[in-house]
Amino acid sequence: MRIDAVLARGTTTSFEFFPPKSDEESAVLTRTLKELEPLRPSFVSVTYRGGPASRQRTFDLVTQIERGGQITAMAHLICVGHTQQEMRTILLNYAEAGVENVMALGGDVSEDPTQRASEFVHALDLVEMIRSTGGFAIGVAAHPQGHPRSPDLASDRRFLAEKLRRADFAVTQFFFGVEEWTRLVDELGALDVTKPVIPGIMPVTTLHGITRMAHMGASVPPALVQRLEAAQLRGGPAQVRSEGIAAAHELCAGLLDVRAPGLHFYTLNRSTATREIFNSLFA
């Protein structure tokens, strides 16, 4: 089913995975999918880092999930390193496989000098190509704290508004305060854009994760850092994890209270934390 149609029915829950690179990673993901299937997600998304090997792994996983007939899957596509003709072929392959949902992303610019130049300048260019092919529900990325390459927050919102006018919905980078999502939605509304913006959720379960998340473009607020550090002093890593799960639960509950259109969980291909948060919200 198209994700825009799923969103029209009511609040969604969704999970994100990355395609495995080894037999060991494949076994972990297979187990995770089985553990999460009883939660009946509205859809799942599969990332793609770029390059032929990664593209094929994404295609294989997305089509495998779709063929299972139980879960709707969305494939990530990126601008970096692709020609327009190559992207048309990718879209045709997905359409022939029955995949109806894609996420159009700019992608990380590689420092590899051998990487082929992209024929797309911005994610907006990719969105327009996908829209011209017809048949796909199109998602785009939103950054509550602003995209790292945006010169300022105001221009970030204008760029996002332009993408969303042509796309069907957005999924955010993870963040840690309800007000970050409401501010983003309000600022888009001021630009006359009211498409659904699904908040992305990733719990901080280790102190090391604080630094990692900052590098990924979403800084952990000082109050949460202090909360996790206090948990470390009280009970070590296990207490940090418990506190991080509790904080994520509070964020999700707050988002549902302000009528967010859904919750999108970044799983890192593991199910335990996601299941704990999900069950605390809906059990």
User: Whole-angstrom distance between the N-terminal and C-terminal Cα of the chain?
Assistant: 25
The answer to whether residues 178 and 254 touch, using CB atoms and an 8 Å cutoff, is yes
Catalytic site includes residue 16: yes
In a 13 Å sphere around the CA of 183, the CA atoms on its Cβ side amount to 13
Q: How far is Cα 103 from Cα 77, in angstroms, rounded to an integer?
A: 6
The three-class DSSP label of residue 251 is helix
Candidates 16, 100, 180, 187; catalytic one:
16
Q: How far is Cα 142 from Cα 174, in angstroms, rounded to an integer?
A: 10
Q: How far is Cα 91 from Cα 81, in angstroms, rounded to an integer?
A: 16
Instruction: Enumerate the active-site residues.
Output: 16
